[in-house]
Structures are given as C-alpha cells and as structure tokens.
C-alpha cells in the first residue's frame, strides 16, 4: 500500500515542469530514503509532504510536515505549512527532525476508513 503510493509520488516529482522541481524531488527522494518515513503512507499538497499511518480515504496524519520552499530550502513544522520546527538548507537536515518527531509505537499502515 504505502510503497506503491511512494512510487507514484516519486514518479510525479521527477516529471514536474516547475521551478520547484529539484527542491521538491529531492525532498520526496530523501524522505523515501528514510525507513521510518518510507513505512508510512505519503500524502502531498502545496509542495509539502506529510505521512499517515492509514491509507485514503481516512488518513491519520502522524508527525510533522516537510516543506519544499521556493528558495531551495526546506521547512519542518507541526502544522501544514508552518515551519515552526525549523528551516533547513538540505532535505537531509529537514528529514532528521521529522523522523525524531514521529510518535513511538507506529504499526504498519492500515486501511483508512
């Protein structure tokens, strides 16, 4: 379930025709490279990535959001588009605190209701 959604996100990010393409693609690829995030269901909107412990339609968002910024930097935040946990120069710097803020005891992704 989660892996096929990640593959779709990675494919779309690589095909973008936008000034955001590289920053966003790097964010998606870096997040996918982390086992804790890759085990969760990815959801994206407005150049931001969030992860869920359940699939659509009933997403259960867990952890912070990761944002690809127009200036090539990255944000991490507890809200949807508010980088209150920090602004980072690289995607790796953004993914690290996002993983640290994931709740403990997450189970494999379940079907959303």
Secondary structure tally for the chain: helices H, strands E = 4, 5
pTM for the full model?
0.94
pLDDT of residue 80: 81
Rounded CA-CA distance 77/59 in Å is: 18
Q: Are 43 and 51 in contact (CB under 8 A)?
A: yes
- 102: nearest Cα among 49, 43, 53, 62: 62
Number of Cβ within 10 Å of residue 113's Cβ equals 8
Give mean pLDDT, residues 85-93: 97
Q: State pLDDT tens for residues 42-81.
A: 999 999 999 999 999 999 999 999 999 989 999 999 988 8
pLDDT of residue 96: 97
pLDDT of residue 42: 98
Average of per-residue pLDDT values in the chain: 94
């Amino acid at each position: 379930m989660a892996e096929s959604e990640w593959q779709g996100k990675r494919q779309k990010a690589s095909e973008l025709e936008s000034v955001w393409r590289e920053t966003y693609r790097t964010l998606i690829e870096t997040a996918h490279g982390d086992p804790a995030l890759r085990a969760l269901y990815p959801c994206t909107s407005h150049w931001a990535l969030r992860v869920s412990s359940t699939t659509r339609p009933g997403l259960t968002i867990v952890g912070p959001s990761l944002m690809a910024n127009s200036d090539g930097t990255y944000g991490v935040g507890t809200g949807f588009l508010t980088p209150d946990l920090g602004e980072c120069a690289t995607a790796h710097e953004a993914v690290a605190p996002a993983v640290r803020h994931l709740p403990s005891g997450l189970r494999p992704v379940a079907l959303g209701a």
